Amino acid sequence: MNTAPSQWFEASIAELSHLQNLRVWSIIVSLFGDLAQQPDARISGTTLTRIITPMGIKPEAIRVALHRLRKDGWIESTRSGRASVHFLTEFGRSQSAAVTPRIYARDPQPPAAWHLLIAEDGSGQTALEEALLLPQYISVNRSTALGQGAVPEGVEELFAANVSQLQPPRWLQARLFPDDLIETCQALLTALQQLSFPAEISAVEIATLRTLIVHHWRRIALRHPDLPSHFHPEHWVGPACRARVFDLLDQLPQPTLQELDQSASS
Amino acid sequence: MNTAPSQWFEASIAELSHLQNLRVWSIIVSLFGDLAQQPDARISGTTLTRIITPMGIKPEAIRVALHRLRKDGWIESTRSGRASVHFLTEFGRSQSAAVTPRIYARDPQPPAAWHLLIAEDGSGQTALEEALLLPQYISVNRSTALGQGAVPEGVEELFAANVSQLQPPRWLQARLFPDDLIETCQALLTALQQLSFPAEISAVEIATLRTLIVHHWRRIALRHPDLPSHFHPEHWVGPACRARVFDLLDQLPQPTLQELDQSASS
């Protein structure tokens, strides 16, 4: 068995766990995205449990969450001897890959070019809703979408125009960066500022901490688009939070799956 | 008394009168705008009647319309001996002057620069409605206005952006140039193409024809904004109609008020 967890580790986990209710299936999605996104990446049940249980999550809850993720087509599980191993399905991997660039962008450059798509009152909103399914669009109001880059082909039903010198009013800042997002981001930054790590950390400890940091950051990074800073409301600390996330992840270099399995069974 | 009206004159009037129901007060507004917009311009009741009655409008209807225009503060009337004289009030003159550039633009150049103002859903529309009171704004939909030039100061409540490469869809073309406007413009062009004038025309005849042409054109010119040609729907003949209007007005040079009074009393 492993030695008892050290004080700094328990304190770090406590900082990161009190932020919000952790949904186990979502933690597992963060974990696979961070540590096992490659097509051949497999994590043993033992390793998964050793990474997640320090967060205060019971093995039974992990089993339930894995069951749900299998049912939703995200994860598959097989047996290797007496041990179970888990891996992302093709679907799970593509979902994960789709958001990885936004989560892991250290210094995202907001696009220089933007366009607007404007729908006719009433029925025109259907055409707009189709555009808003694409990740490069931001909903401005019921009939307007702000899109990255120049006006694309195929938007004949919408009034389209390239735009410059965007002047977002307060209501738009508040729509894009709602108060609860601002507060969540402030709380994460505060928690991350408390963290400091010793020189020697086990691969599993690294995995637990990385998963928690990435998990919390993912829930912030994916909730706001990359926009020029004059779109940010007054108390938005997103850029500082992002900088701290990557500062910490640099101190917790990603372990290989082999290192993890060895560390987990030590 | 005057000689009987000539055949070409009656035919011309017929072409221009069947286009739509003439509202007498509106005819008088067109007439003052065209012939008596200067601060010292006064038209005698006799001249006014001689210009308007050939359109098939009775003197009694002119008196009723003048009464209404006086009540609305557009026109004042005084007596000069036994004759009545009419003139635009300060208000009437400023209203007339405000639209004169749009009516009399021979070759309007649509602005090169445009901006959009976008309101928040719901309450934000009040801020937009204020902007739409200004002549440089066009309503695109319930929450969007297209404005000439660059984004102005003082629109902090609206999402504002300079725009380029505007791509108006059919619904926007149809909103800006509704079918009845297209048809009215086509009918006016057809009528104007029938007109031709002899070399000798009296000042009053000129005034009657100018008033009718300007009147019909005014009702088209003021109903659509000057927009680049790709905003025009397929059957829009506005530019051809405008060209024909000024071609005809050039053949009917504006008489002075003195010439008119002399011609009317001859």
Q: How far apart are CA B266 and CA B262, in angstroms?
A: 6
Residue with tokens 């009656």: B10
Parse chain A into domains and list their residue ranges. 7-107+176-264, 114-167
Q: What is the pLDDT along chain A (266 residues), one digit of tens a residue?
A: 445 668 999 999 999 988 878 899 999 999 999 999 999 999 999 999 999 999 999 999 999 999 999 999 999 999 988 889 999 999 999 999 999 999 999 999 888 899 999 999 988 888 899 888 888 899 999 999 999 999 999 888 999 999 999 999 999 999 999 999 999 999 999 999 999 999 899 999 999 999 999 999 999 999 988 899 999 999 999 999 999 999 999 999 999 999 999 988 87
Distance, in Å, from the CA atom of A91 to the CA atom of A74, rounded to the nearest integer, reads 6
Closest residue to B140, CB basis, from A159, A166, A170: A159
What pLDDT, in 10s, does the model give residues B212-225? 999 999 999 999 88
Q: Which among B120, B140, B144 has the least Cβ separation from residue A171?
A: B120
Contact: A124, B157; criterion CB under 8 Å = no
Residue B58: how many CB atoms within 10 A of its CB?
Answer: 12
Domain B7-107+176-264 matching CATH 1.10.1520.10: the answer reads: no
Contact residues, B window 175-204, toward A, CB-based 8 Å cutoff: 175
CB pair distance less than 8 Å for B166 and A159: yes
Contact of B79 with chain A, judged by CB distance below 8 Å, is answered with no
Q: What is the ipTM of this complex?
A: 0.78
Beta carbons of A35 and A257 less than 8 angstroms apart: yes
DSSP-assigned letter for residue B262: H
List the structure tokens of A90: 């093709």
Chain B residues in contact with A125 (beta carbon < 8 A): none
Q: Is residue B3 classed exposed, middle or buried when 0-12, 13-18 and 19+ CB atoms within 10 A define those classes?
A: exposed
Taking the CA of residue A131 and the nearest CA in chain B, the distance in Å comes to 16
State the maximum Cα–Cα separation within chain A, in Å, rounded to a whole number. 66
**Chain B (125-144) residues lying within 8 Å, Cβ to Cβ, of chain A:** 140-144
What percent of the residues of chain A are helix, what percent strand, and what percent coil, each to the nearest 5?
A: 50, 15, 35
> Cβ distance A103 to A222 under 8 Å?
yes
Which residue in the block uniquely carries the two structure tokens 């509704």? B178
Helix (H) or strand (E) holding A145: strand A144-148
- Strand order, beta sheet including B159-167: A137-141, A144-148, A114-118, A159-167, B159-167, B114-118, B144-148, B137-141
| B142 vs A143, A163, A167: nearest CB | A143
Name which of A140, A159, A164, A227 to mutate to probe chain B: the one with the most chain B Cβ atoms within 10 A of its Cβ.
A159
- Picking from A96, A163, A83, A237, the residue whose alpha carbon sits closest to that of residue B161 is A163
Beta bridge partners of A161: A116
> How much is the pLDDT for B226?
86
pLDDT (0 to 100) of residue A3? 53
Q: Do A160 and B140 touch (CB under 8 A)?
A: no
Q: Among positive and negative, which fits the CA dihedral B225, B231, B234, B238?
A: positive
Tell me the β-bridge partners of B88.
B75
Task: Identify the pLDDT of residue B1.
Answer: 42
Residues B155 and B131 sit within 8 Å (Cβ to Cβ): yes
The one-digit pLDDT tens for each residue of chain B (266 residues) are 445 668 999 999 999 988 888 899 999 999 999 999 999 999 999 999 999 999 999 999 999 999 999 999 999 999 988 889 999 999 999 999 999 999 999 999 888 899 999 999 988 888 899 888 888 899 999 999 999 999 999 888 999 999 999 999 999 999 999 999 999 999 999 999 999 999 899 999 999 999 999 999 999 999 988 899 999 999 999 999 999 999 999 999 999 999 999 988 87
Reduced to 3 states (helix: H, G, I; strand: E, B; else coil), residue B221 is helix
CA-to-CA distance for B260 and B44, rounded, in angstroms? 9
Residues 6+ apart with CB under 8 A from B152: B115
Measured between CA atoms, the residue of chain B closest to residue A166 is B161
CA distances from B126 to A81, A111, A173, B142 (A): 70, 31, 19, 11
What's the angle, vertex CA B208, arms to CA B202 and CA B212, rounded to 5?
145
